[in-house]
Amino acid sequence: MNEKLTKAATLQVRAPDPFTKGVIFEGDEEIDFVLFDFWIEDRVEWERRADEYLHKAGYHRISAWRYDGNDAVADIVRHREA
């Protein structure tokens, strides 16, 4: 397991348009990714499904989703039990 993933640090997930892959960053360093194996036009439903996929991958979102240009961005932490 990647040692960086065991830290209790706040990470960031960025999902570039078309929002099918969430790239996990610690600072400026890419440390992991989550595939979002779906495409949903409705933003609220997309956020709900993305949260489910993040949770399955061992992450928990701690901020609202925000939109930076063509990227969906949120702050996340690693699940303690993961």
Domain extent for 72? 7-78
Which residue from 15, 26, 11, 13 is spatially nearest to 69, judged by alpha carbons? Answer: 15
pLDDT for the residue numbered 82: 46
Q: pTM for the complete prediction?
A: 0.84
Whether 1 maps to a domain, the answer reads no
pLDDT value for 1: 38
* CB burial of residue 53 (10 Å; 0-12, 13-18, 19+): middle
Q: What is the pLDDT of residues 8-66, one digit of tens each?
A: 589 999 999 888 999 999 999 999 999 999 989 999 999 999 999 999 999 999 999 99
Helices (H), 1-82: 43-56
pLDDT band at 81 (very low <50, low <70, confident <90, very high): low
Q: Indicate the helix (H) or strand (E) that contains 9.
A: none
In a domain, 11, yes or no: yes
Amino acid sitting at position 61? R
31 lies in a domain? yes
pLDDT at 5: 45
